Structure 1
Amino acid sequence: MSSTEVGRQVNEFLTSRRARVTPEQVGLPGGSNRRVPGLRRTEVAMLAGVSVEYYSKLERGNLSGASDSVIAALADALRLDNTERVHLFDLARTAAGSPARTRRRSAVKSVRPAMQWALDSITTGPAFVRNGRMDVLAENALFRGMYWDAYQLPDRPVNLARLTFLYPEISRRVLPNWEYSADTNVAILRTEAGRNPHDRDLQDLVGELGTRSDEFRVRWGAHNVRHHANGEKHFRHPVVGDLHMSYEAMEPMDDSGLNFLIYAAEPGSPTEEALRLLAGWVADQEQPVLRD
């Protein structure tokens, strides 16, 4: 990523976060005659304890030379959450040309056999491993069953962001809350772009999606970031119906950058029974054809 591009990312991120914070949220007087949404630059500078000139320089994209304490004060002034705070520090280190950033490897593209064995041992809920680009690197049978139509496409590895935006007829069928899932996919990619700005494959994916999908392009411009740690998700399968599940995501200790994610149904719920039916259905679909 060039210094110009980094500067643009910084500018758009800080501008969008400043526009989101109201004066009332930080104890400042509001009023109806304000020309900009959210806070003025002078107000952010005051809250962060820096001069207006210096904050204006930072917002123009020049984070090079800014100390960690200044970045932290800026994050506090803009009321950034933990994920946004980490993202801002990532942008600052990239702007400073940190060797740790330039040496970061590209996203992992495969998993160890033992990780696939671990996935296969999970038989009551869908489970998969992905990298920061949203490539599904390994999965169990229930996950393949849940995304069955996606696995009939020739694309490998299955990429959840590409599926969401380039195959909406499939993704909208599987994901009743498509808008939320689309927002989450883009926020995860935006987080990864800040953490790993020199990943050429990630840049190519973002370029492809931005060129081919208006839905993606609008969301990418919002500069929202997110860590996918836990929560609830609703799927709809054409054979077994609605699946309401909780998920937990973990990062394998020896594989930084991977996400090991497991879905689970509440014991005794209709979804638990639906998953049992789905397991049988997938087994039938994947059973080898016997030849005479």
Structure 2
Amino acid sequence: MAAPNREEVRDFLMTRRAKVRPDQVELPAGGIRRVPGLRRAEVAMLAGVSVEYYSRLERGNLAGASESVLDAIARALLLDEAERDHLYDLARAVNSSPATRQRRNARTTAVRPGLQLALDAITGGPALIRNGRMDILAANTLGRALHSVAYAQPRRPVNLARHCFLARDSAELFYADWDKAAATIVAILRAEAGRDPYDKDLQDLIGELSTVSDDFRAKWGAHDVRRHASGEKNFNHPVVGRLDLLFESADLTAEPGWKLLIYTAEPASPTADALALLASWAATHDQLTAQA
């Protein structure tokens, strides 16, 4: 396989540069600007590199770029932690050896029995394991019940990106804010594509979604990346109604790229009551215990 597509690097740096206003980095606006954001020369000055060198980087050539240069570019472009990590991932891909540039075959989605037992031991809230492609690899009973609309789709493993974009009517009812949820999903996929650019299954998924969904193509073209470590998610469940859930996620070190997500509700809240109702409903629906 040839070196990674330089367009990915180019577009990421260009879209980040376009987001930075001169006043954010204490530079004068400087007259009429033909494009939003900083000029290449301004980024180069802020990063302490030549305009020619930065222009080479923005053309997609990160080969040989040192950590100090990448850090300087990240500071100049005001990259957040997720964006900085993505820039490093892109550089690692460019600088990897030819042997690592082979597209890998499909990776296993089989979950060890011990992991499933650990999920099943979590009874107070939904819990699931997913990979960077947004496949749900395993879940506890409440996790399957929470995503029952996605599990209603026949394809396995259940994929939250496919549900969001290819079962749009269902997804718009399920997510309290579909656009926010869709943007988050795309940003996670974009970060995963930078972390593991040779994942054939991921590239196939991106190609499928790009072919079918105009919304996915538009969001993919924004080159946004995001970490998904903690926060709040809001759902409209078809059985129990509104769920405002807090979530925490953790990387599974034994399975690179896999994450454990646990959802909880504020005690004595309407969502806590709804989760109790969801648990009762799930216990009566044997089909929700099917494997992902």
| 2:186 and 2:219 in contact (8 A); partners too | yes
RMSD: 1.8
Aligned match of 1:222: 222
- Structure 2's unaligned 5+ residue stretches are none
Q: For residues 5-44 of structure 1, what are the structure 2 equivalents within 5 Å?
A: 5-44=4-43
Q: For residues 5-84 of structure 1, what are the structure 2 equivalents within 5 Å?
A: 5-84=4-83
Aligned match of 1:283: 283
Cα pair distance change 1:18/1:107, threshold 3 Å: farther
| 1:108 and 1:257 in contact (8 A); partners too | no
Residues 1:149 and 2:149 aligned together: yes
Q: For residues 106-255 of structure 1, what are the structure 2 equivalents within 5 Å?
A: 108-255=108-255
| 1:130 and 1:137 in contact (8 A); partners too | yes
In 1, Cα distance between the equivalents of 2:99 and 2:250? 23
In 2, Cα distance between the equivalents of 1:261 and 1:151? 17
Aligned match of 2:268: 268
Deviation at 1:103, TM superposition (A): 7.9
Cα pair distance change 1:50/1:270, threshold 3 Å: same
* Letter of the 2:9 counterpart: V
User: TM-score, length-normalised on structure 1?
Assistant: 0.94
| 2:119 and 2:139 in contact (8 A); partners too | yes
Match of 2:172, SS state, is: helix
Deviation at 1:97, TM superposition (A): 2.5
| 2:150 and 2:160 in contact (8 A); partners too | no
In 2, Cα distance between the equivalents of 1:229 and 1:104? 28
Listed one character per residue, the Cα deviations across residues 129-184 of structure 1 (whole Å, up to 9, x for unaligned) are 00111110001111211221221221100001111000011111110111111000
| 1:126 and 1:142 in contact (8 A); partners too | yes
In 2, Cα distance between the equivalents of 1:140 and 1:203? 28
User: TM-score, length-normalised on structure 2?
Assistant: 0.94
Match of 2:5, SS state, is: helix
* Letter of the 1:151 counterpart: Y
Match of 2:284, SS state, is: helix
Deviation at 1:100, TM superposition (A): 9.2
Deviation at 1:123, TM superposition (A): 1.5
| 2:103 and 2:200 in contact (8 A); partners too | no
Deviation at 1:253, TM superposition (A): 2.9
| 1:126 and 1:143 in contact (8 A); partners too | yes
| 1:104 and 1:196 in contact (8 A); partners too | no
| 1:129 and 1:137 in contact (8 A); partners too | yes
Deviation at 1:109, TM superposition (A): 1.4
Match of 1:149, SS state, is: helix
Cα pair distance change 1:29/1:185, threshold 3 Å: same
* Letter of the 2:136 counterpart: V
